[in-house]
Structure 1
Amino acid sequence: MGKLLYSAAMSLDGFIAGPGGDMGWLAPYTGEASADELAAEVGALLVGRRTFSGDDPYRGTEGEGKAFGGGWDGPQVVLTRRPAPAAVPGVTFCSSLEEGVAAARAAAGEKTVNVLGASVGRVCVEAGLLDEVEVLVMPVLLGGGVRLFERPGPPVRLELVAQQGTSLRYRVLR
């Protein structure tokens, strides 16, 4: 079974989306940051509903509406409390974390399940399911928006396992 990896591009001041979920801030940096290595290890996505339906950093480009800007194609599992929309090819909608993680792991096989969205990352940490966190720090200060992790409670201990440029990967210690 593959690992659960929460990944995000993040501003230097800790935000993965701007105010109101704005992802337009990332557009100037998408050419600088390659997610090819990450995309190659991903077998399925576990995505929050806001992330799935939200702003697209690739808006107006050929990568719009595609995971990793078109650098990856495969099964997606979307966690949602709202009724699922009409069928979307390659997308499964689940209402519980347990159901969503099981579906994403089954779809990924031995490959990595890439967790996208701050809320889903947080609940995976709280449930003790998250194996790793990868953050690509971007050279910008947003000043507000959606934080990488916004949670009260005890600290979550991490161990650095890889660093390449401003990309940092940590193992979640249990």
Structure 2
Amino acid sequence: MRELTYYVAVSLDGYIAGPGGEFDTFLAAGDHVEPIWSRYRGTAPTQLAEAAGLSVADGPFDTVLMGKNTYAIGLPHLPNPYQHLRQIVFTSTPSQRPEGSDAVEFTTADPTAAARALKQEDGLGIWLCGGGALAASLIEEIDRLVLKINPVVLGAGIPLFGSAGYSPMAWKPTRTQAFESGVILAEHVRA
């Protein structure tokens, strides 16, 4: 059975982006980049990875899930951001397809039912790359939680799990690695 991994950058105070979707305060350079990329190869938009000389081949995922706001971050320049992966965008307006997005699957399907069906398919892992609201709706289906914790406090923004409400859920740490850049890679599995 395939696993769903929520792999995302997050601030010290638990935000995956600022109030307007800003993520430019997260570190894109430093001693953490190469080791994290080698572990989670293929988790950058295809064109950006190739421009940086990073191979997207042989990564742990073959499918990426995202909400419409996460997808929209790359528009209009990257309408087909993860060309090397199967891309599924959850949206309430699937008919509004940006030009150049033919390889992207837009769906109004229930995210939980969709994730369960994807887990039954053959293939590599499934990567949930955002956003917070989608993560909140999929929290029961997430098998692994991988956080790139950045040394910044945002104060407000999009929470890691949207507005999931109070519902404690235990996770077991499997690996933690701190870097001189201040980034901490924290990996967990459902307890």
Q: Which of 125, 136, 142 is residue 154 of structure 2 equivalent to?
A: 142
Q: 1:66 to 1:88 in 2, by over 3 A?
A: closer
Which residue is equivalent to 2:185?
Answer: 167
How far 1:23 moved relative to its partner?
A: 2.0
Q: TM-score, normalised by structure 2?
A: 0.72
Greater than 6 Å deviation, 4+ residue runs: none
Contact 1:135 1:168 in 2 (8 A): yes
Q: Distance in 1 between matches of 2:79 and 2:89?
A: 18
Q: Could you list the per-position Cα deviations for residues 101-142 of structure 1 after superposition, in whole angstroms to 9, with x for gaps in the alignment?
A: 2575477x33110112211111111xx211011101111111
CA contact (8 A) 1:18 1:25 kept: no
Partner residue in 2 for 1:77? 88
CA RMSD, 1 decimal: 2.7
Which residue, out of 103, 123, 136, partners 1:122? 136
CA contact (8 A) 2:112 2:141 kept: no
For 1:93, give the aligned amino acid: F
Distance 1:144 1:80, change over 3 A: same
Structure 2, unaligned runs of 5 or more: 42-58, 179-183
1:33-78 deviation per Cα after TM superposition (whole angstroms, max 9, x unaligned): 434211311111011111001368xxx9xx99745xxxx8211101
Structure 2: how far apart are the matches of 1:31 and 1:66? 20
How far apart, CA to CA, are the structure 2 residues paired with 1:93 and 1:105?
Answer: 18
Q: 1:92 to 1:38 in 2, by over 3 A?
A: same
Is the 2:80–2:101 Cα contact (8 Å) retained in structure 1?
no
1:81 is paired with a residue whose SS is coil
Q: Which amino acid aligns with 1:53?
A: A
Q: Which runs of 5+ in 1 are unaligned?
A: none
Bigger Rg, structure 1 or 2: 2
The answer to whether residue 40 in structure 2 is matched with residue 38 in structure 1 is yes
Q: For 1:133, which of 106, 127, 145 is the aligned residue?
A: 145
Q: 1:84, 1:31 → 2: CA distance?
A: 37
